[in-house]
A and B are shown apart, each in its own frame.
Chain A
């Protein structure tokens, strides 16, 4: 539409239709900006208010005497269920889960994408289609079998623990969640890398092959050095998805010390014992939101690109 209201048009005097038009457009845009910013704004100001101010003051007012206390309390003291040691432990749970899950699923996705574009075999489209469809299933349809398998593995791990003194990670909630997120993230990571490598010149791969470079040499020396943008996109996408996951987290690590951040936050907010400390709740929500928000602010361009790549398939 940029062509229509082209600035080349001679400016007329006074409040022309065009000026009014512009005012309306900017007004609407500003209004929507307020709509999108409001909840975050309210969350942020509330997290810096005292309880007294929250109960007697206005939701939209800036804090009269800003205090960082709620943040400290959320981090180190607030009650999650019956344990009152803040959300810091759960924050680390999420970090311990998200880092390996993102790295493993991204690396596997890169290898898969490489095979599916540069080492094609009969039926490669079917393989890809089957992996792609897996991204879209409602996870409710695999939730229960996975719970059963993880339960069995946990019992097996306990047996191993008794026999050898080491459970090899079986039955460990973090390991379980990493496994689940890798398995159900593979479709997306493969999709990202496949589409990216599809546009990568196959001639280069062929030339290297003629020169005697092996499968992994080509991957390491030719593909990887040229994959930085898609790595960033995939890592951000996976990080956001896994950090924000609630369904798997609540089904496989829903109680006790092993909960990831999202489940812990939900418990903090819905804890009904004692006075509800809204400022602490909001601070906890902000802490839970910060990692992905920071990623968004720092690398928004890549974040959007990832979303788009996930949306426009094929």
Chain B
């Protein structure tokens, strides 16, 4: 009787003598699977089935309405061509360039800031209980609210620029949110504001899990605080770095709402990410096949990051 599952297998034949009981106990044995079935079926149909459907659509010439005649990889060829159309930039070129800028800066700054704040907070700080929730609360807000707040804060006529002008710094100039070359950086600012506190919490939990004895030993050996962190603490936080990276990469690729709320897409769509590209092409520009192809590319990118991670996590658990 090592597992519950084995018990079932052993029990079933014993009940065979009584036909009435057999049906009942069979049902009892099947019950767990019956309970799980709807959820699993829903996942199969609405996740995996729908993904296949989207892939199928990307190989048709669907415009406003889905068409189901396979017409080849035209949508992908167009995306491929647009990938190199930098002058004037195609919407796709803008979207993937922005994804690169936003993804890299968002992940790097969140990691750096999160780690920095966690280390600061771990210095026996009085009032840590007050500071921690302050750093973390943006995570409870929706991207739409975050976007609205930062849109106001960064608006040249109303926000930061205006305020500093009133305080006498009249040469201060900050209009990134209206500038097509810089608008993506405002998305980075708002995104970092929202997520870095959470990354801080992850690192803090990691730091608290490190054995104090190791640090004491290093200190006795004459390691400076800086050396201690560089050589001992940060290397020990590797698993946290990985988890944080996965969380951030996943959030970055999915980012959609923030661009909409903060910039409404930016001047001429200059703040688009692939998620915005997909939405606009599918629902506004009647290019369903191209929209689907871009969704497939997003999915592939995310899969390449997530699947190895999940695989190793689940395997580790089993051992």
Q: Which of B15-23, B43-51, B69-77, B104-112 sits within the interface?
A: B43-51
Q: Is the CB of A125 within 8 A of B296?
A: no
Q: Is the CB of B42 within 8 A of A1?
A: no
The verdict on A42 contacting B152 (CB below 8 Å), with A36-B134, A215-B32 known, is yes
Q: Is the CB of A1 within 8 A of B233?
A: yes
Chain A residues, CB < 8 A from B256: 140, 246-247
Q: Is the CB of B310 within 8 A of A133?
A: yes
**A127 within 8 Å of B by Cβ?**
yes
Chain A residues, CB < 8 A from B138: 36
Report B117 CB to chain A, min CB distance, Å. Answer: 6
Chain B residues, CB < 8 A from A251: 279, 283
The verdict on A133 contacting B307 (CB below 8 Å), with A112-B39, A247-B257, A300-B133 known, is yes
> Counting chain A CB atoms within 10 Å of each CB, which of B36, B205, B275 scores highest?
B36
**B84 within 8 Å of A by Cβ?**
no
Q: Is the CB of B32 within 8 A of A59?
A: no
Q: How far is the CA of A130 from the CA of B40 in the complex (A)?
A: 9
Q: Is the CB of A29 within 8 A of B131?
A: yes
**A116 within 8 Å of B by Cβ?**
yes
**B31 within 8 Å of A by Cβ?**
yes
Q: Which of B86-94, B119-127, B170-178, B180-188 sits within the interface?
A: B119-127
Chain A residues, CB < 8 A from B202: 308, 311
- Count residues of chain B with CB under 8 A from any CB of chain A: 113
Q: Report the interface size class on chain A.
A: 35 or more
**B299 within 8 Å of A by Cβ?**
yes
- Produce 1/0 per residue, B236-262, CB < 8 A to A: 000000011011001001101100110
Report B303 CB to chain A, min CB distance, Å. Answer: 8
User: Which residues of B approach A to under 8 Å, CB–CB?
Assistant: 1, 3-5, 7, 28, 31-33, 35-36, 38-40, 42-44, 46-51, 53-54, 57, 66, 117, 119-125, 131, 133-146, 148-153, 158-160, 162-163, 166, 193, 197-198, 201-202, 205, 207, 212, 215-216, 219, 225, 228-229, 233, 243-244, 246-247, 250, 253-254, 256-257, 260-261, 264, 275, 278-279, 282-283, 288, 291-292, 294-296, 298-299, 302, 306-307, 309-311, 313-314, 316-318
A–B pairs, 6, beta carbons within 8 Å = A1-B225, A43-B149, A187-B43, A289-B140, A311-B202, A314-B316
